[in-house]
Amino acid sequence: MRVSTVVFVGAITSLAMASDTTTPIVLDFEDLPSGLAPMPAGYAGFASWGSIAHSDLGDSNYVASSGDTFALSVGPHAPILFGTEYIFEGAYFSGPDQPYTLWFELYNEGELVHTSESLSPTPKPVFLASGYAGPVDEVRIGTSFANFYCFDDFTYSEVGGGGCNDADLVEPFGVLEFADVLAFLGAFAAMEPAADLVPTGGDGVWEFADVLHFLGEFAAGCP
């Protein structure tokens, strides 16, 4: 029996809460000491935080998206180096309501692989998605007005491995099964990179084309 793609899309809402997806890693910085200080060396296992500091001394312009502590840029901009490959998903930004923009520049092995859309910060934290689902080892925050921003809930995830195609999302890899469907449903509903399949590498938009691509990959099966 043919399963309607309309029914498939409609199932996203009802099944997403039951999905068993890998939980993204979210750095909310609440485990850091109170006050304003440089980001501790090796924090979260990263190789370098560049010029990034942390603070819980916010005001009406610099607001954490969760809790009280946020990260902020102080001094000349320097990249955030992971030291390994991750899937970087994005972060919440806030700052003075001024005419300037922020964006992500994502690198892997020294090469620029993606530049995100830009965001004009406001005192209310807004999430800026990376729009890229491929592995990266370096994140640079581009800005047209240096130092006037803070960020929170810095979100990334482990690089998956072993999948035979874009529909093979969870272990055991090499076998397409209902767990992969649930994983896709959850990722699509949460707008996570695992469900941003079209074009290759993702575009930060979760749409019907991503669903159709998943269906085609699932129907094709593993070799």
Q: Which domain holds residue 168?
A: 5-22+162-220
Q: Which two tokens stand for residue 203?
A: 């575009």
Q: What is residue 8's predicted lDDT score, i.e. its pLDDT? A: 52
Which secondary structure element, helix H or strand E, spans residue 13, and what is its range? helix 5-16
| 14 and 99 housed in the same domain | no
Single residue among 158, 175, 201 that ends a domain in this structure: 158
Q: Closest Cα partner for 204 from 214, 217, 191? A: 191
Q: How many structural domains compose the chain?
A: 2
**Omega of the bond leading into 96 within 30 degrees of 0 (cis):** no
Q: Residue 113 is part of a domain; what is its CATH number? A: 2.60.120.260
| 147 and 74 housed in the same domain | yes
The percentage of the chain sitting over the pLDDT mark of 70, rounded to a whole number, equals: 86
Taking residues 169-184, what's their average pLDDT? 84
Map tokens 């998605």 to a residue: 129
Does residue 17 have a pLDDT over 50? no
Q: Closest Cα partner for 185 from 176, 177, 195? A: 195
Question: pLDDT by residue (tens digit) across 65-88?
Answer: 999 999 998 766 779 999 999 989
Does residue 15 have a pLDDT over 60? no
Q: Which two tokens stand for residue 7?
A: 């029914």
